[in-house]
Structure 1
Amino acid sequence: MRRFKGFVRGVDGLTRDRGGNFAVLFGAVASVLALGVGFAVNISQLYNARSSLQSVVDAAVTSTARDLTLGVIKEADAKASVQAFLDANSAAGILQANQIVLDKLTINRTAKTVQADVHADIGLYFPLFSVGDMQRVTTSTTALYSDKKIEVAMMLDITGSMAPNWRSKTDKIGDLKAAASQTVEDLLKQNRDPGDPRIRVAIVPYAEAVNTGGLADTVFVEAEGGPKVPPPIDTPLSVSVTTATDKCATERKDKDGYADYSSDGPYTLRQDNKGKTYQAKVNRDYRMKVCPTAALVPLTADMSRLLTAIDHFQAAGVTAGGIAVQWGYYMLSPSWRSAIADACLGAGPTNFDQKKVAKIAILMTDGQFNTAFARSRGASRSQDQGQVSRSNAEAICENMKRDGIEVFTIGFDLNDPSMTTTERDQAKSVLKDCSTDDSSSLKHYYEAANGAELSDAFGAITRNIENLTINR
């Protein structure tokens, strides 16, 4: 027992003798911990500063690129634009006012990019060793801008199903007028130079046919039992022209009476079955009964003209979607430029060139395509008019996309209980097939259940149009 007590006293003495060593060790550890904490704080501070700096510069360059795209500023004003944005937003996050310095702004006219290189000197909370109390944070960001022209053709359904319905308390034609008018305003208000508009819009109201308005001379009026193509160009004028009481057109037909899916202009020369030369005018089938009162308007930047045309929409007739898509294609095809210019309806479409012009087609309908007057060569004669109309529309949409036209589609009130499940599925299918394939960031097919959603769909497309011109 005595030995055990002696052992305890010995250990106790040893502990007392080494207390100073533990204090020294604790001080060393505390110093290391303090350095570690200070280093971590500095790292966090610099990370937050870099994140704040990147956000401000990204926004400044993106805003400037957008202003260049829209023509709000000239290239010579770009540096001042970026600097003004940096000055106005320099106190973001942990940054202090006037802390961001613009080192260099580069505009690459070939790549169509704006690049800004910037820095900010950050005062460290814990100066360490030879680092000092300041640390420079740098970053660079690049944004695309575009000087592309934009041409938009809107194919708008004004059929009888769009008429106001007092039972369901709906006014779909009114909803369309509001949405289409807002779209025209949103697009054209971006033009800064009336003499050289960057954006032009065409509208193609459609029902059983398309009212060609001032382009009526491009239409060949068929007679029952008569030829399917215009008379040869050497035919005497007195017998080569057939008049109609309206200015409507249906599908264009080839020499054998089949649907023609090309975007050829009406002055294009072709050979009939007798080897005679004729002009490729668009047919007005003799079976057509109801001509829409609202006429198409070729590409224009005249907002008043477009809004007036939209205001005159009246709902009547059946749905010839294939004919609508055909005329939307014409309004974007340079092959129609001469005919449009000759009719004093504007300069007409520019050439297909995706580097210089973005061509956009917007197809809107509230139901199933159900009317057509010409089927494709080789198609079964058992097809009903709806099948023919949908097939024609899809074929022309493929041609448009092949030519670089971006196709957006909107299905309006397609869940209307008056439609059968089959009709609804067919309507959605043709719109999805016609639209350009979606990407991870770009949607092309929309559904709208009511007027508010229709306006939202057109608004989303308007924003996507601008994204297309910047990102492609």
Structure 2
Amino acid sequence: MTTRPRRPHDSLLSRFRRSDRGAVAPLLGFMMLALIGCVGLGIDVGRSVLVKARLADALDAAGLAVGARLATTDFNADALKFVSANFKANYSGATVTNVTATPNASKSVITLTATATMPTAFIKLFGTKSVTVKASSEITRKTTGLELVLALDNTGSMSGSMTSLKNAANSLIDILFGSDTTATNLFIGLVPFSHTVNIGTSRSSWVNFVNSSKSNWKGCVMARSGGLDQTDDPPSSNTYKFTDYYYPNNGGSLYCPKEITPMTNVKATIKTAVGKMTADGNTHINLGAVWGWRMISPSWRNYWGTLAWNGTILPLNYETKNMNKAMVLMTDGDNTMSSSIYTAYGYLSEGNLGTRNAGSAETELDTRLTTVCGKIKAKGIVLYTIAFNNPAKATKSLLQSCATTTAYYFDAGDSTSLTAAFQTIAGSLSNLRVSK
């Protein structure tokens, strides 16, 4: 018997095939199949990990978006919309399902969950056709330091809408305070305005009495002359003091709105002040804006009281670390200066606005509002404006230009839109962060 010499090119695999000492070929096939399965499993698991990471990112983004939409009535629908926008369609063939967003009672924490089902590429050969991954996120709303003033139209045209305004303003207050009754870093003040502003009879030291006396003065003041109706100069001397507003032949209090409420960190105090507002008089939007500025201007420190934050009496300096300043200016009408109404600029016939023509006087009020808005924004105060109940197109344009950005201007044509505007502003003023 002749033995065939082993050739150098004989392979190990060839020897396995020729071997008659065991079932090597089936074993090799099983090993190859297992190897393919492991590789396939690794690839599909890796794909599922990427899908879960992408889903988690989309859920975080959706949570931040939903958290800023406090006026929503369907958190789940909003969450689904934003997850879909941030999760690339058909990413690894995955389909997103079961998106939920659940707020707590004060809407300060929103918990989100979602699942994504991904078809497998390799392990389907072993009977597993899809893999489901889950992701969750928690968004926490936290209001950092904020000095906020609400300058709200209390003119006669608001007489049928005061309840709507009060409800809308209170919704903002509720959102910002959350479940707190007293805040540590939130301060809100109120400036009800018509064609004058009521500083309160307790502040008679700010006033030079020309038209009345302290005993019968009701708290309203005239607009200062010489451009001082457009500045935040405090009444530190006779030059900068105000003149008492006293309506001729009517006991002095006609068209005098409710008293200003300085910034407070007590929820009940500011809500009570909102509840007392009444509607009467003509419209001087510029006075609401300038008095709102004076309430949060550091030049007025020690004029509004002794409320303090971190040892400093309010209002704080501009750009104080961890403290923001903002104003909401809302009106339902155009600036007006009619010949028969005595306002903070006197009678139209007195020419205190540089003209005795009603149209020209109203244009001058618009110009002064633009000036005040510019000065407010130059100080870094965030200015939101709301045009309620469809005032003239020119007034809407004026308010839009007054706002810090066009996104901070709201055209609220009805009561529902007004509440939504206040709630959106509240969301904008609250900081959001991903907590889980």
TM-score by length of 1: 0.58
Aligned equivalent of 2:188, options 190, 201, 218 = 201
Change (3 A) 1:315 1:285: closer
Q: Which amino acid aligns with 2:240?
A: A
Map residues 40-439 of structure 1 onto 2, 5 A cutoff. Answer: 41=44, 44-55=47-58, 92-93=115-116, 148-164=144-160, 172-189=161-178, 191=180, 194=182, 197-213=184-200, 214-223=202-211, 245-254=217-226, 258-267=227-236, 269=237, 278-284=238-244, 290-341=254-305, 347-353=313-319, 355-371=321-337, 373=345, 381=355, 384-414=360-390, 424-438=392-406
Q: Is this contact kept in 2: 1:210–1:291, CA < 8 A?
A: no
Q: CA deviation at 1:338?
A: 1.1
Once residues 145 and 187 of structure 1 are traced to their aligned partners in structure 2, the CA distance between those partners, rounded to angstroms, is: 10
Once residues 114 and 319 of structure 2 are traced to their aligned partners in structure 1, the CA distance between those partners, rounded to angstroms, is: 43
Q: Is this contact kept in 2: 1:319–1:369, CA < 8 A?
A: yes
Q: CA deviation at 1:263?
A: 1.3
Change (3 A) 1:126 1:296: same
Q: CA deviation at 1:324?
A: 0.8
Q: CA deviation at 1:348?
A: 3.2
Change (3 A) 1:354 1:436: farther
Q: Which amino acid aligns with 1:209?
A: T
Q: Which amino acid aligns with 1:432?
A: Q
Q: Which amino acid aligns with 1:49?
A: K
Listed one character per residue, the Cα deviations across residues 153-200 of structure 1 (whole Å, up to 9, x for unaligned) are 001111111112xxxxxxx111111111222222223658x4x62111
Once residues 445 and 333 of structure 1 are traced to their aligned partners in structure 2, the CA distance between those partners, rounded to angstroms, is: 22
Question: Unpaired runs of 5+ in structure 1?
Answer: 1-26, 64-87, 96-122, 128-140, 165-171, 225-240, 270-277, 416-423
Q: Is this contact kept in 2: 1:163–1:315, CA < 8 A?
A: yes
Question: Unpaired runs of 5+ in structure 2?
Answer: 1-28, 67-110, 125-136, 338-343
Q: Is this contact kept in 1: 2:217–2:246, CA < 8 A?
A: no
| Secondary structure at 1:358 match in 2 | strand
Q: Is this contact kept in 1: 2:195–2:283, CA < 8 A?
A: yes
Once residues 198 and 303 of structure 1 are traced to their aligned partners in structure 2, the CA distance between those partners, rounded to angstroms, is: 12
Q: Is this contact kept in 2: 1:221–1:286, CA < 8 A?
A: no
CA RMSD of aligned residues (A): 4.5
Q: Which amino acid aligns with 1:150?
A: L
TM-score by length of 2: 0.62
Q: Is this contact kept in 1: 2:145–2:186, CA < 8 A?
A: yes
Once residues 407 and 174 of structure 1 are traced to their aligned partners in structure 2, the CA distance between those partners, rounded to angstroms, is: 24
Listed one character per residue, the Cα deviations across residues 418-449 of structure 1 (whole Å, up to 9, x for unaligned) are xxxxxx122112211211123xxxx2000112
Listed one character per residue, the Cα deviations across residues 121-152 of structure 1 (whole Å, up to 9, x for unaligned) are xx99659xxxxxxxxxxxxx9x9998841011
Aligned equivalent of 2:409, options 445, 451, 456 = 445
Q: Which amino acid aligns with 2:287?
A: I
Q: Which has the higher contact order (CA 8 A, sep 6+)?
A: 2
Q: Is this contact kept in 2: 1:407–1:444, CA < 8 A?
A: yes
Listed one character per residue, the Cα deviations across residues 321-374 of structure 1 (whole Å, up to 9, x for unaligned) are 111111100111111121112799x95311111533110110000010124629
Once residues 320 and 465 of structure 1 are traced to their aligned partners in structure 2, the CA distance between those partners, rounded to angstroms, is: 27
Listed one character per residue, the Cα deviations across residues 212-250 of structure 1 (whole Å, up to 9, x for unaligned) are 1143432334459xxxxxxxxxxxxxxxx8775221023
Once residues 264 and 39 of structure 1 are traced to their aligned partners in structure 2, the CA distance between those partners, rounded to angstroms, is: 71
| Secondary structure at 1:200 match in 2 | strand
Equivalent residue number for residue 421 of structure 1: none
Change (3 A) 1:151 1:191: farther
Q: Which amino acid aligns with 2:218?
A: D
| Secondary structure at 1:384 match in 2 | helix
Q: Is this contact kept in 1: 2:37–2:123, CA < 8 A?
A: no
Once residues 37 and 435 of structure 1 are traced to their aligned partners in structure 2, the CA distance between those partners, rounded to angstroms, is: 58
Q: CA deviation at 1:56?
A: 6.1
Q: Is this contact kept in 2: 1:155–1:206, CA < 8 A?
A: yes
Once residues 414 and 142 of structure 2 are traced to their aligned partners in structure 1, the CA distance between those partners, rounded to angstroms, is: 34
Equivalent residue number for residue 13 of structure 1: none
Q: Which amino acid aligns with 1:460?
A: T
Q: Percent identity?
A: 23
Once residues 152 and 229 of structure 2 are traced to their aligned partners in structure 1, the CA distance between those partners, rounded to angstroms, is: 22
Once residues 250 and 282 of structure 1 are traced to their aligned partners in structure 2, the CA distance between those partners, rounded to angstroms, is: 6
Change (3 A) 1:450 1:53: closer
Q: CA deviation at 1:94?
A: 6.4
Q: Which amino acid aligns with 2:284?
A: A
Q: Is this contact kept in 1: 2:196–2:257, CA < 8 A?
A: no
Q: Is this contact kept in 1: 2:141–2:432, CA < 8 A?
A: no
Matched length: 326
